[in-house]
Structures are given as structure tokens and as C-alpha cells.
Amino acid sequence: MENKAMLVLDSQSALGEGPHWDHKKKILYWVDIIGAKLHIHDPEKNDNHTIQFDQFISAVVPEQPGQLILAMQHGLYRYNIALNRLTKICNPEEDKVSNRFNDGKCDSKGSFWAGTMDLDGKKDCGSLYRFDTDGRITKVLSPVSISNGIAWSPDKKFMYFIDTPTNKVSTYNYEETTGNISYHGTGAEIPVEMGSPDGMTIDAEGMIWVAHWGGAMVSRWDPYSSKLLDTIQIAAKNVTSCTFGGENLDELFITTARDGLNEDDLAAYPQSGGLFKVKTSVKGLPANHYGSQ
């Protein structure tokens, strides 16, 4: 496996995040949270189309053709690409004006899981929610400080979740039929000197890949033994998330941020905020869409 990623797009994003590979369309959705931008990247055409919004956008998943579900500053929204129409679905934290949604993904049943956090990252201000396909939204975990990476094991028995300040990947027992979870243990513990765990994905072997904020890397872990298996160096200090994509799902797309860096950091990591990619020796799993799979 290559241990260094290549720059795909020098986008200089303030807070690049939330990569989602649409295996049906062979395109990558990703966002710049602070820039309030949704990016649609087509590797085949080497094209990156950007849509500007007027509020933070943190996660994106496809729904039906031409329609996306977005996690944003003021709640969950449905977005029609062709009509450029944004429709609010709900905001379970209408009363928490200093909170915003952060990372989010869909499970195998098509439910969208997305968590919240305080705009300044204050402790224990957020929660993790599950937005089911029937329109119901359920608070699943609370309190959470910075709700971040989420993934499910290939056998659908476990859910992995990152609350960044804990420096851990927590493992939960997961019931696919109900969406219920119960705490199981620690899947990985990130040493402080390696930075803080941010976004995450999982490969077909059930190993988790974690982006390191402040650590300039992505790491691969065995969540059953909590053993570190591999690291990939990124030419950006604040690495935010990753997902498998490409024709064979063996390319890891990696988002990064310029936010939180001083002049010395930016001089050392001038490509910070860019979109990166690395070829891997393992394959990922197709990302789930919202609604029927």
C-alpha cells in the first residue's frame, strides 16, 4: 500500500469534510463546512462542481436521483440539484442556536445518522440522531461533545463512533432491524501525539480508517483487537475524513482543512484544505443512500 497520498484538488478549503462516494454515479460528494460549499467531484472528467449555500453544511448523502439529504447548521435538509432547491426537513435542536450538525452517514436500512456539536466545540453540548426513512428522528446518544466519524461493520453487528475529544473509536452493538445500539467497548484509542480522531470509514475486511486532526495522517485499525495496522501520511496537518471510492472502491479519498492552522503550519503544509487520494491494497464498501437501498 502506498503510504503517502497525492493531491487531487488544491481547493484551499477552510474545513473540507464529509466525503461520500456515490458508487452508482461514480462521483464524490464532499463539503467545506465553514465555506458553506457542497462539492461534486467527477474524477473521470477531472471536474469539481461547487454549490454555495448560506449556512454551514457538514454532511451529504444521496436520496433518490437528483436529490440529496444534507446535514447543515440549522438542521436536516433535502436538496434538489437540478432545481437548486433547498427544503428544510427538521431541526431537533431548534432551541440550541449555538449548535450545528457535523458528520453523518446512512446505515444499511437507509436511515441517516448525524450528530451535533457546539459551534465552539464546548463539551457535552451535542447529540447523535437517527433520521429514519419514515421521517422520524430519534436521539440515539447524548451528551456528545464533537460528534464525528461513524461506520458499521460488514456483518452489521457493530457500529463505530467517534466523539473527537475522547480520542477513541467507541464500539456499539448494533441491531440492524431496529437501529438500536448499546455500548460494547473501545475499538481504537488514538495516542495524543498522533492528533485527534475526526472522520472515519471502514473497509471490506472490517478494519477502520481514521482521519487525524492535527496528525497529518490517516490510520488503519483492527477494531476487534484495537491494534494499529497502518498509517498514510497526508501533506496537510488537519486531516478531517476519508471514504473509499473509484471504479473498484480501492481508492481512499481524503478531506483536509486550513482552519485552526497558523502561518508556520500553512508554510509547512501549503496544500492544507485540499482533497487527496491514495490507492489501497484493500477495498471499501459501497456507501449507503438515504431511503430504500
CATH number for the domain spanning 174: value is 2.120.10.30
Does the pLDDT value for residue 292 go beyond 80? Answer: no
**228-251 pLDDT per residue, tens:** 999 999 999 999 999 999 999 999
Does the pLDDT value for residue 282 go beyond 80? Answer: yes
Number of domains in the chain: 1
Q: How confident is the model at residue 3 (pLDDT cuts 50, 70, 90)?
A: confident
The answer to the question of residue 82 being in a domain is yes
The answer to the question of residue 207 being in a domain is yes
- Closest-CA residue to 146 (of 170, 114, 123, 113): 123
Does the pLDDT value for residue 2 go beyond 70? Answer: no
Report the DSSP beta bridge partners of residue 118.
Answer: 99
Hey, is 165 helix, strand or coil? helix
Does the pLDDT value for residue 26 go beyond 70? Answer: yes
pTM as predicted: 0.97
The answer to the question of residue 145 being in a domain is yes
User: How confident is the model over 55-75, as a mean pLDDT?
Assistant: 96
> What pLDDT, on a 0 to 100 scale, did the predictor assign at position 6?
96
The answer to the question of residue 36 being in a domain is yes
The answer to the question of residue 238 being in a domain is yes
User: How confident is the model over 35-60, as a mean pLDDT?
Assistant: 97
The answer to the question of residue 209 being in a domain is yes
Specify binding-site residues. 17, 100, 102, 120, 148, 198
In total, the chain counts a number of residues equal to 293
User: How confident is the model over 26-53, as a mean pLDDT?
Assistant: 97
Distances (CA, A) of 186 to 19, 160, 172, 179: 25, 9, 9, 20
> What pLDDT, on a 0 to 100 scale, did the predictor assign at position 271?
97
Q: How confident is the model at residue 64 (pLDDT cuts 50, 70, 90)?
A: confident
Cβ contact 237:214 at 8 Å: yes
How distant is the alpha carbon of residue 50 from its chain centre?
18
User: How confident is the model over 2-20, as a mean pLDDT?
Assistant: 94
Q: Of 22, 103, 163, 198, which residue is the catalytic one? A: 198
Give all strands (DSSP E) within 10-157, no chain letters. Answer: 16-22, 27-32, 37-42, 47-52, 57-62, 67-72, 75-80, 85-90, 99-106, 112-118, 126-131, 137-144, 147-152
The answer to the question of residue 293 being in a domain is no
Residue predicted with more confidence, 52 or 4 = 52
Report the DSSP beta bridge partners of residue 37.
Answer: 32, 52
Specify binding-site residues for a divalent metal cation. 17, 148, 198
CA distance 34 to 17: 10
Specify binding-site residues for substrate. 100, 102, 120
The answer to the question of residue 72 being in a domain is yes
**172-189 pLDDT per residue, tens:** 999 999 999 999 999 999
Look up residue 255 and give its three cell numbers.
478531506
Parent domain of 30: 6-279
CA distance 198 to 275: 16
Q: Is 198 a catalytic residue?
A: yes
Does the pLDDT value for residue 11 go beyond 70? Answer: yes
Cβ contact 31:37 at 8 Å: yes
Q: How confident is the model at residue 107 (pLDDT cuts 50, 70, 90)?
A: very high
> What pLDDT, on a 0 to 100 scale, did the predictor assign at position 261?
97
Which H or E element spans position 267? Answer: helix 263-268
